[in-house]
Each structure stands twice: as structure tokens, then as C-alpha cells.
Amino acid sequence: MSELSARAEKLDAADELAHKRAEFVLDEAVYLDGNSLGALPANVPGRVADVVARQWGALRIRSWEESGWWTAPERIGDRIAPLVGAAPGQVVVGDSTSVNVFKALVAAVRMAGEGRDEIVVDATTFPTDGYLAESAARLTGRTLRPVRPSEVPGALGPRTAAVLLNHVDYRTGRLHDLPSLTSAVHAAGALVVWDLCHSAGALPVDLDAHGVDLAVGCTYKYLNGGPGSPAYLYVRRDLQPRFDSPLPGWNSHAEPFGMRGDYAPADGALRGRVGTPDILSMLALEGALDVWQDVSIASVRAKSLALTDFFLECVERYVPAGRVESLTPAAHEERGSQVALRCPDAGTVMERLIERGVVGDFRAPDVLRFGFTPLYVGFADVEKAARTLGELLA
């Protein structure tokens, strides 16, 4: 046994989250792709079977009331709220991340007022966020200004209406400074929308503590909600009366069953709802969130940093010098829960890693991405992944 594998065993033995692994459906593969799709929580198949056979099959239409279908978006939102540092009543679940980005950004521009004619967007963002920001700018008659996150404070001014930022860069795993960037946006008199897809469930977010205006995120990565599981929208409580969604629907109406011809928005975060909730995937997500009942985000963050530290150390020891380059910051305060390695033949390398039971993913043109979900990834997984990578690149 190598020195690193022996250390991995000791670290796993001391891991306070090690017991959570048994709550997921896993096999012998080392699964480091939870930053794209989380593993299946073991209780979800039974939950979905009950929703299909009993709630839908037996109760049918009665389940909107008797099974709590109608209130699921805000009920599940309140379960996600502690994971993003929000008090109850500010998070609603439904639609996709893309739809929620659009709702949040247009609403932010509308709340900013007519005197502000510019939207600032993270120039390194996931492409869809950029597409949506461009569409929001056209819809609202604003101009769009792409800016790298580090340059945002210098780009703000009296023209700025809203700023759309990613908490963690999806390519590199770089963690951006949410508190200071939020403060800078507010100092300029603008509103900020944060995309939490690569941070929620992996590290503290603290939306309320930092006065974030609006935030969105998916639930199929670190929250393990399943493929295509519904996203969520956070609207800070004091902004809710002013939240003017560009997608008003009957589900967000003050009288949804009144079938009135004029639109009157509901109170609170319910204004973020649009149409009929996707009940099957939403209740699968609700079951998946059970794994968080006895877990603190602080302990998740501590293990995440320990895992990524150990992985970077193992890569340095096992992989031939000069064969890969880490794009992920070494500083803890700048690191999310993934490690991105630049490798000239990354696509082929990832294919071979997967063949050998180490599952990460590839981002063009030359990036190997490894996501570390602390609830089910262990230190032995980390050592094996780095060792296998080293063997392939030797």
C-alpha cells in the first residue's frame, strides 16, 4: 500500500460524513461528476413509486390537496432555503435554471428603474446565462456589457441596472467573492442576480446575510435531485412586493382559480411561479433532500476543501510533471468543489478514465473536470482517481 493510499484510509476513517455514502445508490466506479449530475439518493425510487402508484394512480386529482401537490413549490423551496442561507418564504421551486435566470434578470432591471440602461453580465459565464442576458437586454431596451467578475466593481456606475454573476465558474471551479461583489453592486445602486448552480449544496452561500437581491440555481448537481429536476428562485423578502415577473402565469396569480382576465400577482415568493408544477420530478427532488436532514453546510465545505486539497496533492505526486495544469485556484477562499485540469488530449483521456471506472467530464477544448460531492465521495476515491490518471498519462 502506498503512503497516499494509507493516508486516504485514515482520512476516510475519521470522516464525519462517511456514513452519508450509504444513503446513495453507488457502484465500484469513482464518481466525480456530481457537479453535472448528482448520484441517486437511495430513498428516491420508493418515493417516486408512491407518487406514481398512490398519489397519481389512486388519488388522482385529489392529490393536489390531499398529497400537497399545490404547495410543493414553496414547501420544497423552504427545504432548500437553509442550504443557501435563506430564511423561509423566499425560495420557490419550479421551471428550469434558464427560465428562472430570465425571470430574475428582467425583474431586476424593472426594479432598478428607467434611469439605468445597462446590464452587466459575467463574461466567463455558462453560455446560456449569456444568451438570456442578451435577450433580457433586448426585451427591456438596455445594452449588455460582458465583464469578467474581477473587473465588475470598476465597470459599475449610474447606468448599471442589474448584474448577473456566477458564484462558481463552471469551467475552472473558481469561487467568486459573493459578499464583496454584492456590496459593490449595491453601492452603485444596482441589483445583483447570482447563479448558484455550482455552489449550492457544496459550500456556504449565505444569501440573507449578504443582502443578495435575487438568486437562481439548479437542483440536479450537488442537491442530487435527478436529471432535469426543477430549479429554484430566491427573491429577497423586502423586494417581493416589487418583483415583476416577465412570465406571469396562473400559478402566480393572487386568485389562481378565479380565472380572471386581468393579472394580479400573489404575495411573496409565489410571484416566481408560472405554470403547473412538474410534480413527478419535483417530488423526487423533495425525497432527495432528505439526505440533508442531519448535515451542516460547514461540514460539507470542510470536507470539500480537504478532498480537493488531497486530489491536487495526489495529482502532483502521480501525474508526470508538465502533463496537466490545474486551472482551479489553490487558495481555499477562491475554490469551489471541483478541480479542473488542462490537458492537451483531454477528451481522449476522459474517455479512457471512464473506461477504467473513474467518471469525470470533459469541457472543450482541453479541460478535465472533476467534481467532489462530499456526501458520497471519499478520500480513497480521490487517491484512486489521481493514481489512475497518472497511470494513463505516464
Active site residues: 126, 195, 220-221, 369
Dump strand ranges (E) for 82-195.
91-93, 118-122, 143-147, 160-166, 191-195
Q: Do the strands 118-122 and 143-147 form a parallel or antiparallel pair, or are they unpaired?
A: parallel
The order of strands in the sheet holding 118-122 is 91-93, 232-235, 214-217, 191-195, 160-166, 118-122, 143-147
Dump strand ranges (E) for 45-185.
91-93, 118-122, 143-147, 160-166
> What is the dihedral sign for C-alpha 50, 54, 55, 60?
positive
Task: Provide the Cα torsion 7, 8, 10, 15; round to 10°.
Answer: 140
Cβ–Cβ < 8 Å for 342, 367: yes
Place of cell 386581468: 262
Contacts of 248 (CB under 8 A, 6+ apart): 263, 265, 274
For residues 195 and 123, give the distance between their C-alpha atoms in angstroms, rounded to a whole number. Answer: 13
Q: Which of 143, 91, 92 is nearest to 117 (CA)?
A: 143
